Amino acid sequence: QSALTQPPSASGSPGQSVTISCTGTSSDVGDYNYVSWYQQHPGKAPKLMIYEVTKRPSGVPARFSGSKSGNTASLTVSGLQAEDEADYYCSSYAGSNKLVFGGGTKLTVL
Protein backbone atom coordinates (compact mmCIF):
# COMPACT_ATOMS: atom_id res chain seq x y z
CA GLN A 1 0.00 0.00 0.00
CA SER A 2 1.34 3.51 -0.85
CA ALA A 3 1.60 6.27 1.70
CA LEU A 4 -1.20 8.81 1.82
CA THR A 5 -0.31 12.21 0.37
CA GLN A 6 -0.01 15.21 2.67
CA PRO A 7 1.47 18.65 1.97
CA PRO A 8 4.96 18.85 3.51
CA SER A 9 4.18 22.09 5.29
CA ALA A 10 1.39 24.39 6.40
CA SER A 11 1.37 27.59 8.39
CA GLY A 12 -0.85 30.17 9.98
CA SER A 13 -0.77 33.03 12.44
CA PRO A 14 -2.08 32.72 15.98
CA GLY A 15 -5.87 32.80 16.01
CA GLN A 16 -6.18 31.81 12.37
CA SER A 17 -7.43 28.52 10.97
CA VAL A 18 -5.39 26.08 8.92
CA THR A 19 -6.46 22.94 7.07
CA ILE A 20 -4.20 20.00 6.28
CA SER A 21 -5.23 17.59 3.54
CA CYS A 22 -4.63 13.87 3.28
CA THR A 23 -5.24 12.26 -0.09
CA GLY A 24 -5.54 8.56 -0.57
CA THR A 25 -7.39 6.30 -2.97
CA SER A 26 -10.70 4.50 -3.29
CA SER A 27 -9.02 1.56 -1.55
CA ASP A 28 -8.26 3.39 1.67
CA VAL A 29 -9.50 6.90 2.54
CA GLY A 30 -12.31 6.75 -0.01
CA ASP A 31 -13.56 3.35 1.04
CA TYR A 32 -13.57 3.55 4.83
CA ASN A 33 -14.51 6.06 7.51
CA TYR A 34 -11.43 5.02 9.45
CA VAL A 35 -9.19 8.05 9.08
CA SER A 36 -7.26 9.20 12.12
CA TRP A 37 -4.90 12.09 12.76
CA TYR A 38 -1.85 12.24 15.03
CA GLN A 39 0.15 15.15 16.38
CA GLN A 40 3.86 14.73 17.01
CA HIS A 41 6.08 17.26 18.73
CA PRO A 42 9.86 16.97 18.20
CA GLY A 43 11.35 14.06 20.08
CA LYS A 44 7.97 12.90 21.32
CA ALA A 45 5.63 10.04 20.54
CA PRO A 46 2.61 10.73 18.34
CA LYS A 47 -0.66 11.65 20.02
CA LEU A 48 -4.12 10.78 18.71
CA MET A 49 -6.10 13.90 17.79
CA ILE A 50 -8.95 12.65 15.58
CA TYR A 51 -10.32 9.17 14.90
CA GLU A 52 -12.98 7.77 12.59
CA VAL A 53 -12.75 10.92 10.43
CA THR A 54 -14.48 13.35 12.78
CA LYS A 55 -14.32 12.10 16.38
CA ARG A 56 -12.17 13.76 19.03
CA PRO A 57 -10.74 11.82 21.99
CA SER A 58 -11.42 13.31 25.38
CA GLY A 59 -8.88 15.97 26.22
CA VAL A 60 -8.30 17.10 22.64
CA PRO A 61 -9.43 20.71 22.21
CA ALA A 62 -12.51 21.37 20.08
CA ARG A 63 -10.28 23.56 17.90
CA PHE A 64 -9.26 20.37 16.15
CA SER A 65 -11.77 18.94 13.69
CA GLY A 66 -11.75 16.39 10.91
CA SER A 67 -13.69 15.80 7.72
CA LYS A 68 -13.61 13.75 4.56
CA SER A 69 -14.74 14.13 0.97
CA GLY A 70 -14.14 11.33 -1.49
CA ASN A 71 -10.54 10.18 -1.31
CA THR A 72 -9.36 13.22 0.67
CA ALA A 73 -9.54 13.71 4.41
CA SER A 74 -8.78 16.99 6.16
CA LEU A 75 -7.73 18.19 9.57
CA THR A 76 -8.65 21.74 10.50
CA VAL A 77 -7.08 23.57 13.39
CA SER A 78 -9.03 26.68 14.35
CA GLY A 79 -7.81 29.48 16.59
CA LEU A 80 -4.18 28.46 16.12
CA GLN A 81 -2.04 28.50 19.22
CA ALA A 82 1.72 28.33 19.58
CA GLU A 83 1.54 24.83 21.06
CA ASP A 84 -0.15 23.55 17.89
CA GLU A 85 3.17 23.81 16.07
CA ALA A 86 4.06 20.18 15.39
CA ASP A 87 4.06 17.49 12.73
CA TYR A 88 0.69 16.02 11.82
CA TYR A 89 0.11 12.61 10.30
CA CYS A 90 -3.03 11.10 8.88
CA SER A 91 -3.69 7.38 8.87
CA SER A 92 -6.31 5.27 7.15
CA TYR A 93 -7.49 1.70 7.17
CA ALA A 94 -6.50 0.17 3.84
CA GLY A 95 -8.36 -3.13 3.95
CA SER A 96 -7.06 -6.61 4.77
CA ASN A 97 -6.31 -5.55 8.35
CA LYS A 98 -3.69 -3.05 7.21
CA LEU A 99 -3.11 0.62 7.93
CA VAL A 100 -1.29 3.31 6.02
CA PHE A 101 0.12 6.65 7.18
CA GLY A 102 0.52 9.90 5.34
CA GLY A 103 3.93 11.43 4.82
CA GLY A 104 3.33 14.08 7.46
CA THR A 105 2.80 17.85 7.48
CA LYS A 106 4.89 20.28 9.47
CA LEU A 107 2.58 22.94 10.88
CA THR A 108 4.26 26.26 11.69
CA VAL A 109 2.57 28.92 13.80
CA LEU A 110 3.93 32.21 12.51
Partner 1 sequence: QVQLVQSGSELKKPGASVKVSCKASGYTLTRYAMNWVRQAPGQGLEWMGWINTKTGNPTFAQGFTGRFVFSLDTSVSTAFLQIFSLKAEDTAVYYCARDSGSGGYYTDVWGKGTTVTVSS
Contact residues for partner 1, defined by CB under 8 A = 1, 3, 32, 34, 36, 38, 40, 44-48, 51-52, 57, 87, 89, 91-93, 97-104
| Minimal distance, residue 87 CB to partner 1, in Å | 8
10 close to 90: Cβ distance less than 8 angstroms: no
| Minimal distance, residue 13 CB to partner 1, in Å | 26
Phi, psi of 71 (to 5 degrees): -90, 5
Between residues 28 and 84, which has the closer beta carbon with respect to partner 1?
Answer: 28
CB atoms near residue 16 (< 10 Å): 13
CB contact set of 81 (below 8 Å; sequence gap of 6+) = 14, 63, 109
Q: What is the dihedral of CA 10, 21, 17, 82, to 10 degrees?
A: -50
Between residues 3 and 17, which has the closer beta carbon with respect to partner 1?
Answer: 3
| Minimal distance, residue 50 CB to partner 1, in Å | 9
Between residues 77 and 100, which has the closer beta carbon with respect to partner 1?
Answer: 100
Between residues 15 and 103, which has the closer beta carbon with respect to partner 1?
Answer: 103
